[in-house]
């Protein structure tokens, strides 16, 4: 006990301006990172970063990532992750094409996909708890199952990819609609994350599940709700993803699972979740990630170097944000 006293006496330097800086160090770094990207790439791309065409494609790329990252906040703040997002998106795109081509009804397509996404969310949230497994196992399982489904669905069609024929999906590719969607989802997520039980509970489950359970929170129920919230965002993102090309194939969506993780982490979200999870992690992170890819390409860096740079930055950020508790990897 004596030693505890010694340590405690030294810990409390959170005074004044520098205290404020220290406690918000991750937020500051992530914003700085974004600003740095913007400045560097404006210069190296000779201003091409800001021409009207580039802005429109930035919006188009950011839209899907942003909606997914915002939804993923709930899952990541609990210290979990979901590797099945990518293949889910692929399957949803394909299903939507089938439904659109046979009925022409966007509403039906969206509702179908939404229901599926909610089911997957419930599966991810509940089954792991019931079976006593880390949640990554259920999401891996879903990843394999959906991957197989995606492959088979395309095989059955007899071609390499299928397209939307019966419906004008390009209206969802309009910049204005995309911005509207992002803002709307952003507002809802911000509200949920900061002013409702969902946000409070997911953060405390991530920080200390035992204590949260001892405060009368049904942790299983809220895990399911969190994953389902993510599922809603996945369904919405699927619509916008499909609208980009109007087609889907065997590999559609596959990169998103890891990309989302990169986005959120670049925004300063600790992998173990907890109290320091913030909505701005998703927002700033997504912007930084997309800007990074776009800016590097515009500056003429070749694709292999871009991969390396992304990997290095990812590693650096993980090292910076992992918490000492030893719970570095998501459960």
Partner 1 sequence: MKQSAIVQIRKMNKNFGPTVALKDVDLDFYPGEIRGLVGENGSGKSTVTSIMAGMQKPTSGSMFYNGAEWKPESMAYAQRKGISMILQEANTISGCTVAENIFAGDIASFSKFGIVNTKAMNKAAQQRLDAFGLTRIKAADVIDKYNFEDRKLIEVVRCVVEETRVFVVDETTTALSVDGRKILYDIIHRLAEQGKSVVFISHDMDEILEQCTSLTVLRDGSIIGTIEKEELKGAATDSEKEKLIEKIRFMMVGREIGNAYYRSDYDVSHSDEVALEFDNVSVGPVKNFSLKLHKGEILGFGGLSDCGMRLIGRAGFGLEKLSGGKVVRNGKVINNSITAIKSGIGYISKNRDTEALILSADIAENISLPSYSRLSKFTFINPFTKAKMVNKEVDNYKIKCKTPRQAVNTLSGGNKQKVSFAKWTAKDSDVLIMDCPTRGVDIGVKQAMYGIIADMKKSGKAIILISEELSELIGMADKIIVMKDYAISSEFMRSPDLKETDIIGTMI
Partner 2 sequence: MKKTLKKIISLALVAVMACSCAALAGCDGGKGEKVKIGIGLYQDQGPAVTATRAFLDGISEELNCEFTYVTLSQTDEAANKTAAQQLISSGCKGMILTMDSATEAILQECEKAGVYLGGYLSDYETSFDKVKNNPNFVGTVVDGRYSGTQWGEEIAERIINEGYKNIGMIKFPSFAFPHQNEMDTAFRAKIEEYNKTAADADKITVQAETTELMFQPLSADYFSANPDIDAIYGMCAGVDFIYPTLTQNNKTNIKLYTAGFSVDDSVLSNFGTSGNGCFQELVFSNVEAITYPLVMILNKIDGEEFSDNPSEAQRVDSSQIRITNNEELDTVKEKSMYYTGKFENSFLSASDVSALLAKNGGTHEDLVKAVQSMAMEDLEAK
Which residues lie near partner 1 (CB under 8 A)? 1-6, 8-14, 192, 195-198, 200-201, 203-204, 207-208, 210-218, 274-276
Nearer to partner 1, 88 or 277 (CB): 277
**Binding flag, residue 316, partner 2 (CB under 8 A):** yes
**Binding flag, residue 239, partner 2 (CB under 8 A):** no
Q: What are phi and psi of 162, to 5 degrees?
A: -125, 155
Q: Which of residues 154-173 bind partner 2 (CB under 8 A)?
A: 158-161, 163, 170
Token pair in block for residue 253:
């969506």
Rounded to whole angstroms, how far apart are CA atoms 281 and 285? 6
Nearer to partner 2, 48 or 105 (CB): 48
Rounded to whole angstroms, how far apart are CA atoms 258 and 318? 14
315: helix, strand or coil: helix
Q: Which stretch binds partner 2 (CB under 8 A): 56-64, 95-103, 125-133, 183-191?
A: 56-64
Give strand pairing partners of 161: 249
| Binding partner selected for residue 254 from partner 2, partner 1, none, CB under the kind-specific 5 to 8 Å limit | partner 2
- HSE-CB of 314 using CA atoms within 13 angstroms: 14
DSSP for residue 325: T
- HSE-CB of 324 using CA atoms within 13 angstroms: 0
Nearer to partner 2, 7 or 303 (CB): 303
| Binding partner selected for residue 132 from partner 2, partner 1, none, CB under the kind-specific 5 to 8 Å limit | none
Nearer to partner 1, 8 or 156 (CB): 8
Chosen residue from 309, 327, 328, 331 binding partner 2 by CB under 8 A: 309
| Binding partner selected for residue 215 from partner 2, partner 1, none, CB under the kind-specific 5 to 8 Å limit | partner 1
Nearer to partner 2, 178 or 224 (CB): 178
* Least distance to partner 2, CB of residue 40, Å: 6
Residues near partner 2 (CB under 8 A), total: 56
**Binding flag, residue 57, partner 2 (CB under 8 A):** yes
Q: Which residue from 295, 269, 281 is spatially nearest to 61, judged by alpha carbons?
A: 295
CB neighbour list of residue 283: distance below 8 Å, 6 or more residues apart: 66, 69, 70, 186, 267
Token pair in block for residue 284:
């700033």
Q: Which of residues 168-197 bind partner 2 (CB under 8 A)?
A: 170
| Binding partner selected for residue 255 from partner 1, partner 2, none, CB under the kind-specific 5 to 8 Å limit | partner 2
* Least distance to partner 1, CB of residue 71, Å: 17
Q: Which residue from 232, 184, 181, 187 is spatially nearest to 59, judged by alpha carbons?
A: 181
Give strand pairing partners of 247: 163
Helix (H) or strand (E) holding 52, with range, is helix 52-76
**CB-CB contact of 30 with 200 (8 Å):** no
Question: For the purposes of burial, counting CB atoms within 10 Å of the CB of 175, is it exposed (0-12), middle (13-18) or buried (19 or more)?
Answer: middle
DSSP for residue 79: T
Chosen residue from 51, 103, 194, 196 binding partner 2 by CB under 8 A: 51
* Least distance to partner 1, CB of residue 286, Å: 25
**Binding flag, residue 45, partner 2 (CB under 8 A):** yes
Q: Which stretch binds partner 2 (CB under 8 A): 131-139, 140-148, 190-198, 313-321?
A: 313-321
**CB-CB contact of 96 with 113 (8 Å):** yes
**CB-CB contact of 79 with 139 (8 Å):** no
Chosen residue from 181, 237, 241, 265 binding partner 2 by CB under 8 A: 241
Binding site for partner 2 (CB under 8 A): 22, 25, 29, 33, 36-37, 40-41, 43-46, 48, 51, 53-54, 57, 60-61, 158-161, 163, 170, 241, 244-255, 294-305, 309, 312-313, 316, 319-320
């Amino acid at each position: 006990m004596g030693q505890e006293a010694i340590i405690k006496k030294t810990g409390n330097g959170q005074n004044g301006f520098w205290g404020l800086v220290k406690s918000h160090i991750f937020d500051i770094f992530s914003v700085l990172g974004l600003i740095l990207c913007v400045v560097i790439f404006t210069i190296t791309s000779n201003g091409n970063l800001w021409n009207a065409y580039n802005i429109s494609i930035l919006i188009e790329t950011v839209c899907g990532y942003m909606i997914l990252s915002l939804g993923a906040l709930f899952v990541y703040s609990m210290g979990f992750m979901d590797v099945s997002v990518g293949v889910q998106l692929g399957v949803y795109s394909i299903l939507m094409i089938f439904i659109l081509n046979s009925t022409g009804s966007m509403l039906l397509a969206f509702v179908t996909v939404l229901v599926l996404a909610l089911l997957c969310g419930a599966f991810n949230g509940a089954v792991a708890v019931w079976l006593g497994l880390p949640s990554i196992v259920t999401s891996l399982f879903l990843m394999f199952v959906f991957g197989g489904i995606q492959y088979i669905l395309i095989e059955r069609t007899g071609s390499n990819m299928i397209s939307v024929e019966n419906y004008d999906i390009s209206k969802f590719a309009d910049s204005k609609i995309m911005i509207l969607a992002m803002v709307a989802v952003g507002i809802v997520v911000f509200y949920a994350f900061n002013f409702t039980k969902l946000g409070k509970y997911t953060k405390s489950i991530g920080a200390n599940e035992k204590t949260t359970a001892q405060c009368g929170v049904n942790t299983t129920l809220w895990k399911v709700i969190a994953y389902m919230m993510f599922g809603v965002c996945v369904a919405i993102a699927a619509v916008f993803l499909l609208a980009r090309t109007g087609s889907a194939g065997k590999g559609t969506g596959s990169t998103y699972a890891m990309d989302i993780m990169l986005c959120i982490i670049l925004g300063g979200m600790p992998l173990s979740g907890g109290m320091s999870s913030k909505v701005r992690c998703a927002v700033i992170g997504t912007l930084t990630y997309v800007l990074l890819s776009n800016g590097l390409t515009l500056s003429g860096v070749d694709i292999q170097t871009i991969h390396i740079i992304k990997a290095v930055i990812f590693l650096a950020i993980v090292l910076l944000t992992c918490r000492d508790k030893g719970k570095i990897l998501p459960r």
